[in-house]
């Protein structure tokens, strides 16, 4: 069957999507919002996204990949935003395996071998 991708923006959309696919492996990439030209305000997100996308084929069957835009820079920098408070995110990009402590943060997302390990290890 392979895997499927869902794109969401904001915390509530992320939670609703994660709940909808409960019971399946869920991987999520959190990035800064994109402008009209499709470029994120977060330069590390611009670098990480193609690396992560190249490794998606390594996700387990039945997986769901959620690409989540966290909002604009001002919202992200607020220490009380829902991503920081509820998901304990400390930076973007963050790639995580939902429901586990496994995650890659910022420059770790640039390394294809680390991304592959996150997708393939239990």
CA angle 106, 108, 112 (to 5 degrees): 130
42 carries an active-site annotation? yes
Active-site residue, 68 included: no
Is residue 93 within 8 A of residue 29, CB to CB? The reply is: yes
The one catalytic residue in 31, 45, 68, 109 is 45
Count CA atoms within 13 Å of residue 49 on its CB side. Answer: 16
| Contact predicate 115/51, CB 8 Å | yes
| Length of the chain in terms of residues written | 122
Q: Which of 31, 42, 68, 109 is catalytic?
A: 42
Q: Are the C-beta atoms of residues 64 and 25 closer than 8 Å to each other?
A: yes
Give the catalytic positions in this structure.
42, 45
């Amino acid at each position: 069957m392979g895997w499927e991708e869902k794109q969401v923006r904001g915390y509530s959309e992320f939670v609703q999507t994660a709940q909808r696919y409960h019971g399946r492996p869920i991987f999520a990439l959190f990035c800064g919002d994109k402008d009209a030209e499709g470029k994120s305000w977060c330069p590390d997100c611009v670098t990480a996204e193609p690396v992560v996308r190249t490794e998606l084929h390594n996700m387990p069957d039945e997986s769901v990949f959620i690409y989540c835009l966290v909002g604009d820079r001002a919202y992200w920098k607020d220490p009380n935003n829902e991503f920081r408070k509820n998901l304990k995110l400390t930076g973007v990009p963050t790639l995580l395996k939902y429901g586990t402590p496994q995650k890659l943060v910022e420059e770790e997302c640039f390394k294809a071998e680390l991304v592959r390990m996150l997708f393939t290890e239990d």
